[in-house]
Chains A and B, each alone.
Chain A
Amino acid sequence: MSLRFGLAGAVAIATAWMSPAQSDTIKVGIIGTMSGPYALFGQNFKYGIDTWVAKHGSKVGDHQIEFVYRDEESPNPAKSKSLAQELIVKEKVQYIAGLYFTPDALAVAPLLEEAKVPMIVMNAATSAIVEKSPYIVRTSFTMWQNTVPAAKVAKAKGAKKVAIAVSDYGPGIDAEAAFKKTFEADGGTIAQSIRMPLNTTDFGPIMQRIKDSGADMIFTFLPAGPPTLGFVKAYIDNGLKASGVKLLSTGDVVTEPDLPNIGDSGEGILSTYHYAVSHDSPENKTFLADMIKAGAKPDEITMASVAAYDGARLIYKMVEATNGQKDPDKALAAVKGIKWVSPRGPVSIDPDTRHIRQNVYLREVVKQDGKLLNKELQTFDAQPDWGLAKN
């Protein structure tokens, strides 16, 4: 009796052992902020990917694609690294994607070459990330990419003295450097340059400091999330808006889910960004309708979902090019220089930097049909990552 069961068990184990090799499932590990204060963006990764899968199927040729999600929670490099290790060793993923925060992306980068796993960065926006491994490609944006047009706008709007206030971490410092370099090259003056700790919630003193500096415009970057709201409110409530100091930011500060909270007093805030939910194109209309079908709430769609949607496109392309085999060089070669029309507009992957080239738009917060949105005013065509282009 027991022998027969033992035999049956052995056969069952052997079959279970064999089957994954035959069925050919290609796993893709997604590391994103699935819980915690930034969970909205992790959910956006998921909705973006789900939307792609719903539209293009879960198979590339004969290869079944399976997405495995892991929770990055917060800027936590040690955790992200161990999640990536677990995905590579235990789940045997062929691709890693996601990564909301720069420090987390940087922590994962050193693993890629040895493990022969390409990584598709769907948010983290510090320029240097793509230089850390030849297997990294990015579908989101960089601070330099969005900030250089902002500095041009500041000049065009007649700003003379600008106060810069950025969050004190990688992308913030990139934004500060990009703005300073571009604006000063155009003959502008930087009145103040303030680096705000990431956990700041009371921006009153900072606003007072900016006001005392005599700046006529503020340029700011904070990562999309709870603090941006406090910053914009402090700007309005401390009377800077009323006294004519303009606010210019990257789009992270006025993401669509935050606009209703900022309220009507946010009207007129200028920002430069690569994607507005209100972007008027047939691709974007279809994308938004598909997102809602996939379960996303209309008021909670952000740029992270578009980066994930385009990221999934690259993953499918890579699987197709390698025919499901683990060949990162071939996979990367397949996406370098690739062009397509994204919901955000025409884009391409720069073959040298492996970063996405895209339009950057100047937008203004306006009220249309009782709803606040970022209305595109001006387009800066096919912007590269200026941070990498100049080095």
Chain B
Amino acid sequence: MAWTGLSIGLDALSYGMVLFIISIGLSIMMGLMRVVNLAHGAFAMIGGYLASFALKNAGVGYPLAIVLTVLGTIAIAFPLEFLLYRRIYRKSDELTQILLTIGIAFVIIGVANYVLGPTTKPIPLPPLLSGPVDLGFRMIPAHRIFVVICGVCTAGLLWLLIDRTEFGIRLRAAVDNGDMAESLGIKTQILFSATFALAVGLAAFGGVVGAELLPVEPFYALRYMVTFLVVVSVGGAGSIPGAVAASILLGLADTTGKYLAPEYGEFFFYLAVILVVFLFPNGLLGRRH
């Protein structure tokens, strides 16, 4: 029984970490820049497609492919930032944001479906990460251990970046009072662009390392969007520890449900969401706006 618990916990942790890596970018966009970016899943999907192309067609190694993917996705997203997103940062009209970003998501889905076809695109793993690893009490896919490590590193580095660096201090100042920050000589436009790039890069990174659990196909962009939004709202927008806690909690609810009562589908996942949002209307660690 104890082994079963631990076993579920491991699956939950790795699923939670995938959710975390993808959702944290969205959380940053929503919490720090007040943009409800419904195209976030689309950027994760672009990351997955680029990685698939780099690994299968261009034949580069897995680590290099991840780096190229993140940079490539940012490069693709940059014109969108310059032409569209720049206009909606910190604007309070949420309807405009939603219409714009969901429109972008639809365009990306349409293009992906037309150009790359509707089938799932594989992201081949290097031998080191594929196949099972024997932990003694159970076998676990090696890839899941890698995902957990990626998640922990991402959380740590992001916390350092936002809480401990000059960039983080300036960003938080610009978020809390943009006009004041501007008059003190902080170039908020550049800060926001950099943060957008960070969020998109994280989405792409998550799209690649999470592809085993969330397979890359054109409808990825919207299929998992609800899940990502749920993680942000349960964790509290803009909070890194909140997003970690929410991802693990929701991963645990989903995985336990699947193990013990698979026929209930996502019942336990959404039950956990309802309970948390009922008890913490601003998310587990969210700030009141």
Question: A residues touching B (Cβ–Cβ < 8 Å)?
Answer: 35-40, 168, 194-197, 199-202, 204-206, 208-209, 211-212, 226, 229-230, 233-234, 236-240, 242-243, 257-258, 260-261, 263, 265, 300
A93 CA / B216 CA spacing, docked (Å): 38
For the complex, is B255 an interface residue (Cβ under 8 Å from A)? yes
Q: Is the CB of B263 within 8 A of A168?
A: yes
Chain B residues near A36 (CB-CB < 8 A): 113, 118, 219
Residue from B15, B122, B254 in contact with A261 in the complex, judged by beta carbons closer than 8 Å = B122
A197 CA / B143 CA spacing, docked (Å): 24
Q: Is the CB of A265 within 8 A of B131?
A: yes
Could you tell me which residues of chain B, from 245 to 267, have a CB within 8 Å of some CB in chain A? 254-256, 258-259, 262-263, 265-266
Identify which of A194, A199, A205, A206 gathers the most chain B CB atoms within 10 Å of its CB: A205
Among B4-12, B33-41, B97-105, B155-163, the one that faces the other chain is B4-12
Given contacts A202-B213, A226-B217, contact A237 B258 (CB under 8 A): no
Q: Is the CB of A205 within 8 A of B131?
A: no
Chain A residues near B141 (CB-CB < 8 A): 204, 234, 237-238
Q: Is the CB of A204 within 8 A of B120?
A: no
Interface readout for B1-34 with A: 1 if CB under 8 Å, 0 if not? 0001001100100110000000000000000000
Q: Is the CB of A237 within 8 A of B7?
A: no
Q: Is the CB of A229 within 8 A of B215?
A: yes
What 4 pairs between A and B have smallest CB-CB spacing?
A: A239-B139, A237-B141, A197-B265, A239-B132
Q: Could you show 14 A-B contacts with beta carbons less than 8 Å apart? A: A39-B113, A39-B117, A40-B117, A168-B263, A195-B263, A200-B258, A201-B213, A201-B215, A202-B255, A204-B15, A205-B258, A206-B262, A208-B7, A258-B120
Q: Is the CB of B139 within 8 A of A39?
A: no
Number of residues from B at the complex interface, CB < 8 A: 41
Given contacts A39-B118, A197-B262, contact A238 B255 (CB under 8 A): no
Residue from B124, B132, B214 in contact with A201 in the complex, judged by beta carbons closer than 8 Å = B214
A171 CA / B217 CA spacing, docked (Å): 24
For the complex, is B134 an interface residue (Cβ under 8 Å from A)? yes
A195 CA / B167 CA spacing, docked (Å): 50
Chain A residues near B143 (CB-CB < 8 A): 237
Chain B residues near A201 (CB-CB < 8 A): 213-215
Q: Is the CB of B119 within 8 A of A237?
A: no
